[in-house]
Structure 1
């Protein structure tokens, strides 16, 4: 059976699908089907997407999560367990309570303490990439191991379990899989994380799980701890790894900009911001549900309707930035929506930025002659994945 790609997930290489641009530059809002088979309104313009993200009272994450067809067959008890700790399915004040516990661990200052260790992890991964021999797959040997090891150390997850949790993550994010397989992946994910949480409760270490147990053990349930840890592990390795793989390909196809990232330290941070904007690897953030009638782009969306948000279309909106279709790392496009906006702004943004700021120049300096092993081959994009990226990227040097 052929699975049709939803409009909000369609891409043309690095670019949002042409239909997305037509909607954004036309009506701005269109009815679509979600990856779960529900009907909702897709919002595409920068200002409108930002407005929705900034208004949790009228655009509810929790009400949208409660309608998920993935959970239709579950008992009320299992639904409650599946949802517990899932910050993306919470609204304030419940969301605020959990987020306050986590925020101190992700401050820029706290992330800077991790910098020497991240440098070590990047250098070790580059050694492994080189030892793999030419040609080598950047995704398997560098882009995935670096953020995976970082988030494992931060959370207290055994890196030796990476094959297990990466396999579960791949199934969780594959929108082409049947509903039953995705539910089983959710169960496997929570079962795995439950074991880790129970070990942390019995003997809390110096990692984030240990911190949560020691400092907030009376304020957070076991199910909430499981949900929080599962989300952080998934988001912590899937997003940054896809940015490293896709970003490297983008730079290789723009050699003048690659040279700037490699040779000019002052260009690294602007490059990271522009790559985040231009690539926008998250197709559509967690769905919202309207709590009252609202007007967006001149269209009334009734109360109780699902709302989807196209991050790639919004970040390519000419009302937000000049010449949006062009990758130009010299402008350092701040204010983009790659990490979302508002109360659900990505908690791990400082960590992701640091990993990219260290990894991109380290890779390009270690291998100044880095090149595509087969420049005529079509890139192997992860088309049906909820986080856009590459299956593999074979490189030589």
Structure 2
């Protein structure tokens, strides 16, 4: 293994969580593929490097050490071969565009309208807690079959799982620097099982159209279902990544538009611009910033960097989306920039299965919000604070409007 430069060896998890951009900018310029000791992994930081590894035939999906500790095995994002094909055949059908088009409007729009109505007469709100995250978790929760679980519980689950997943710091021995950092995530998983186990019992005997019912039954011989222990790791992936992504994407899109008032006004006047505004929001602040990884079972050299066998490479898509070789002035939000696909949903055969669904949740949520509050403004003198390295989004989004 090549000697790690001191500036890379000294980076802390606290620094990455608060603001990863300066460190990753230097990585892109000086070491696009580098071993980062605090993560116990190599990091791919440029668009070209992320795409090369994501599509490389010798690399497969793997979960980071903290991710594996959080989700267990087999989780869809960390397996390959027949198991990966089976898990994708299980989760993909409900998320195909033709299937999503069949029900997304009828399911998501009433959810968005409900939460708009709850805040409409208040004149102010923290949109992250009171709208964006609520719309996101309710839509995904209903898709999974968790309509009986209230949105506060769903939000609590994904925040606790997120803290567990991003408890990634390792010490000099390659062990977790904060092993107690997984305790709250473990408690959340126990709560999830207590709620979901009775639902699984019901779906086994009485299948319905929920995603998890299909996970149990689809592709199985008559009278058989997949084992629940086989499903839980992938469910935990959905209860973290899928629950948070549309909400954080909505929040980041609004934050970007608040930084460009003329573009916010254009979107309010012309809602057809929303898909482009959302795509730029996801590029500008990718919700899944650096939470997926790849691995090769043998030593491999990429651009002169030798990666030892079975060493994970973290795919820093949030960094790749700020690559100046791909985007002009990438740190600025600009929905008018020339269209270029972003990597917020990943790449290769482990790309996110929910791309189409997530985009529609964001579109419908923002349509309802901006149609109801065309005079929406960020709270005066408030500077939006973002947080996260594995997953990233605004911590709060306080806004005001005329009642």
Supply the distance in 2 between the matched residues of 1:179 and 1:233 (Cα, whole angstroms). Answer: 16
Match of 2:395 in 1: 391
Unaligned runs of 5+ in 1: 72-78
With the length of structure 1 as denominator, give the TM-score of the two structures: 0.85
- In structure 2, relative to structure 1, the CA distance for the partners of 1:169 and 1:265 (3 Å cut) is closer
CA 1:68–1:253 in 2, change beyond 3 Å: closer, same or farther? Answer: closer
More displaced 10-residue stretch of structure 1: 227-236 or 252-261? 227-236
Whole-angstrom distance in 2 between the partners of 1:120 and 1:145: 12
Deviations 1:160-194 (A, max 9, x none): 43333322221111135723333343444444433
Shift of residue 365, structure 1, vs aligned partner? 2.4
Match of 1:360 in 2: 366
Q: Is the 8 A contact 1:28 1:297 kept in 2?
A: no
Tell me the residue number matched to 1:196. 199
- Alpha-carbon distance, 1:253 to partner: 1.8
Unaligned runs of 5+ in 2: 1-10, 168-179
Does the alignment pair 1:211 with 2:183?
no
1:102-251 aligned within 5 A: 102-113=91-102, 114-131=104-121, 133-174=122-163, 175=166, 178-217=181-220, 218=224, 220-251=226-257
Q: How far apart in 1 are the matches of 2:388 and 2:259?
A: 23
Find 2:274's aligned residue among 264, 268, 273: 268
Pair 1:219–1:52, CA change in 2 (3 A): farther
Q: For residues 20-99 of structure 1, what are the structure 2 equivalents within 5 Å?
A: 20-33=24-37, 38-55=39-56, 57-62=57-62, 64=63, 71=69, 82-84=72-74, 86-99=75-88
SS of residue in 1 equivalent to 2:43: strand
1:333–1:9 Cα change, 3 Å: farther
Alpha-carbon offset, residue 4 of structure 1 = 4.1
Q: Encode CA deviations 1:108-136: one digit per residue, 9 max, x unaligned.
A: 111112223322222222111214x1221
Structure 1 CA distance for aligned equivalents of residues 150 and 268 of structure 2: 33
Look up the match of 2:331. 325
Cα separation, 2, equivalents of 1:33 and 1:327? 32
Distance 2:126 2:196 in 1: 29
Q: CA deviation at 1:49?
A: 0.6
* 8 A contact 2:299–2:308 mirrored in 1: yes
Distance 1:185 1:287, change over 3 A: farther
Instruction: Give 1:380 deviation, angstroms.
Output: 4.0
Among 331, 334, 347, the residue aligned to 2:353: 347
What SS does the corresponding residue of 2:295 show, helix, strand or coil?
strand
Match of 2:259 among 247, 253, 258: 253
CA-CA distance at 1:242 after TM superposition: 1.1
Shift, 1:341, TM fit: 0.7
Structure 1 contact 281–387 (Cα < 8 Å) conserved: yes
After the TM superposition, which of the residue ranges 43-52 and 264-273 deviates more from structure 2?
264-273
Counterpart of 1:365 in 2: which secondary structure?
helix
